[in-house]
Amino acid sequence: MKDSWKTILILAYQSLGVVYGDLGISPLYVYKSTFAEDIQHSNTNEEIFGALSFVFWTLTLVPLFKYVFIVLRADDNGEGGTFALYSSICRHAKVSLLPNRQVADEALSTYKLEQPPEKNSSRVKMYLEKHKFLHTALLILVLLGTCMVIGDGLLTPAISVFSAVSGLEFFMSKEHHQYAVIPITCFIIVCLFALQHYGTHRVGFLFAPVVLIWLLCISALGLYNIIHWNSHVYQALSPYYMFKFLKKTRKRGWMSLGGILLCITGSEAMFADLGHFSYAAIQIAFTFLVYPALILAYMGQAAYLSKHHETNYQISFFVSVPESVRWPVLVIAILASIVGSQAIISGTFSIINQSQSLGCFPRVKVVHTSDKIHGQIYIPEINWLLMILCIAVTIGFRDTKHIGNASGLAVMTVMLVTTCLTALVIILCWHKPPILALCFLLFFGSIELLYFSASLTKFREGAWLPILLALFLTTIMFVWHYATIKKYEFDLHNKVSLEWLLALGPSLGIARVPGIGLVFTDLTSGIPANFSRFVTNLPAFHRTLVFVCVKSVPVPHVPPAERYLVGRVGPAAHRSYRCIVRYGYRDVHQDVDSFESELVDRLADFICYDWYKTDRTNLYTDDAVTSRSNESTSDGRLAVIGTVSLSGAPAYEIEETLQPASVSGGFTSVESVTDVIEMEPVRAVQRRVRFAIDDQSDTDAQSEINLQSQQELEDLFAAQQAGTAFILGHSHVRAKQGSSLLKRLAINFGYNFLRRNCRGPDVALKVPPVSLLEVGMVYVV
464/765: higher pLDDT = 464
CA distance 149 to 84: 14
- Strand 620-621 with 576-584, pairing: unpaired
Nearest to 640 by CA among 112, 129, 154, 109: 109
Q: Give residue 226's Cα distance to chain centre.
A: 42
- pLDDT, tens digit (0-9, with 9 covering 90-100), for 245-300: 999 888 888 999 999 999 998 888 888 888 778 888 899 999 999 999 999 999 99
DSSP structure string for 539-603 = -EEEEEEEEEEEEEESSS---GGGSEEEEESS-GGG-EEEEEEEEETTPPPPPHHHHHHHHHHHH
Please name the amino acid found at residue 130. Answer: K
Of 678, 602, 615, give the one whose Cα is nearest residue 651. Answer: 615
Single-letter residue type at 746:
A
Single-letter amino acid, residue 161 = V
Do residues 301 and 290 lie in contact, with contact meaning Cβ atoms separated by under 8 Å?
no
| Higher pLDDT pick, 764 / 632 | 764
Query: DSSP assignment of 756-773, as one string?
Result: HHS--HHHHTT--GGGEE
> What DSSP character marks residue 628?
-
Indicate the pLDDT class of residue 183, thresholds 50, 70 and 90.
very high
Give the pLDDT mean for 123-151.
Answer: 90
Question: Considering only 102-116, 334-348, 502-516, 687-701, which range has the smallest mean pLDDT?
Answer: 687-701
Nearest to 777 by CA among 727, 726, 730: 730
Q: What is the mean pLDDT of residues 357-365?
A: 87
Q: Note the pLDDT of residue 618.
A: 37
| Residue 519 DSSP SS3 | strand
Region 388-417: mean pLDDT is: 92
542: left (phi over 0), alpha (psi -120 to 50) or beta: beta
Residue 220 CB: number of other CB atoms within 10 A? 16
DSSP label at 775? E
pTM: 0.84
In the predicted model, is pLDDT for residue 676 greater than 50? no
Higher pLDDT, 371 or 292: 292
Classify residue 76 by its DSSP letter: B
Q: Among 224-233, 471-480, 504-513, whose mean pLDDT is lowest?
A: 504-513
Q: What pLDDT does 110 receive?
A: 80
Amino acid at 296: L
Per-residue pLDDT for 634 more than 50? no
CA angle, residues 412, 417, 419, in degrees to nearest 5: 90
How many Å apart are CA 104 and CA 125, to the nearest integer?
Answer: 22
Q: What is the pLDDT of residues 549-599, one digit of tens each?
A: 988 888 888 888 888 999 988 888 889 999 999 988 888 776 666 778 888
d(CA 528, CA 495): 5
Q: What is the pLDDT confidence band of residue 375, given thresholds at 50, 70 and 90? A: low
Sorting pLDDT into bands at 50, 70 and 90, what band is 98? confident
User: Which of these ranges, 88-92, 114-118, 216-220, 627-631, has the smallest mean pLDDT?
Assistant: 627-631
Phi and psi angles of residue 420, each rounded to the nearest 5 degrees, phi first: -60, -45
Looking at residue 695, its amino acid is D
| CB burial readout 485-521, b (16+ within 10 A) else e | bbbbebbbebbbebeebeebeeeeeeebeebbbbbbb
Q: How far apart are CA 635 and CA 519, in angstroms?
A: 15
Quote the pLDDT of residue 748: 92
**pLDDT, average across residues 601-630:** 59
Contact 761/520 with Cβ under 8 angstroms? yes
pLDDT band at 62 (very low <50, low <70, confident <90, very high): very high
CB 122 within 8 A of CB 701: no
Measured CA to CA, the distance from residue 347 to residue 19 in angstroms comes to 10
SS3 245: helix
First to last CA, the chain: 54
Average pLDDT over residues 36-51: 83
Min mean pLDDT across 34-43, 580-589, 688-697, 736-745 is at 688-697
CB atoms within 10 A of CB 682: 15
Q: What is the pLDDT of residue 99?
A: 66
Phi, psi dihedral angles at 14 (to 5 degrees): -65, -35
Q: Is the pLDDT of residue 81 over 70?
A: yes
* Confidence at residue 626, expressed as pLDDT on a 0 to 100 scale: 32
Q: How confident is the model at residue 51 (pLDDT cuts 50, 70, 90)?
A: very high
Q: Give the model confidence (pLDDT) of 512-522 as tens digits.
A: 899 999 999 98
pLDDT of residue 132: 87
Q: For 483-507, what is the mean pLDDT?
A: 84
- The angle, 0 to 180 degrees and rounded to 10, between the axes of the packed helices 174-194 and 132-165 is 130
d(CA 119, CA 599): 45
Task: Look at residues 120, 151, 79 and name the one whose alpha carbon lies nearest to residue 474.
Answer: 151
Radius of gyration, alpha carbons of the chain = 30
pLDDT band for position 42 (50/70/90)? confident
pLDDT of residue 653: 27
Average pLDDT estimate for 427-434: 89
Q: What is the pLDDT of residue 674?
A: 33
- Long-range (24+ apart) CB contacts under 8 A made by 365-372 are 365/759, 365/763, 366/589, 367/197, 368/588, 369/197, 369/198, 369/199, 369/200, 369/201, 370/199, 370/201, 372/201
Q: Residue 350: what pLDDT? A: 84
pLDDT grade for 115, boundaries at 50, 70 and 90: low
The H helix count followed by the E strand count for the chain is: 25, 12
In whole numbers, what is the pLDDT of the chain averaged over residues? Answer: 82
For residue 681, what pLDDT is reported? 36
Count of residues for the chain? 781
pLDDT in the model for residue 166? 87
Burial category of 69 from C-beta neighbours within 10 Å (exposed 0-12, middle 13-18, buried 19 and up): exposed
Percent of the chain with pLDDT over 90: 38
Half-sphere exposure of 672 (CA within 13 A, CB side): 13
Higher pLDDT, 702 or 171: 171
- Distance separating alpha carbons of residues 349 and 153, to the nearest angstrom: 9
Q: What is the pLDDT of residue 650?
A: 33
- DSSP state, 717? H
For range 352-370, the mean pLDDT: 85
Give 708-757 pLDDT, tens digit per residue: 888 989 999 999 999 899 998 888 899 999 889 999 999 999 999 999 88
The dihedral over CA atoms of 185, 186, 188, 191, expressed in degrees to the nearest 10, equals 170
Does residue 631 have a pLDDT over 70? no
740/744 Cα distance (integer angstroms)? 6
**What distance in Å separates the CA atoms of residue 253 and residue 35, rounded to the nearest whole number?**
10
Contact 86, 421 (CB under 8 A): yes
Closest CA to 49 of 397, 391, 266, 303: 303
Higher pLDDT, 713 or 120: 713
Q: Is 525 left (phi over 0), alpha (psi -120 to 50) or beta?
A: beta
Sign of CA dihedral 384, 386, 392, 395: negative
State the pairing for strand pair 540-553/511-520. Answer: parallel
The confidence band for 373, taking pLDDT boundaries of 50, 70 and 90, is low
**Which of 119-123, 580-584, 604-608, 661-665 has the least mean pLDDT?**
661-665
Average pLDDT over every residue of 37-52: 84
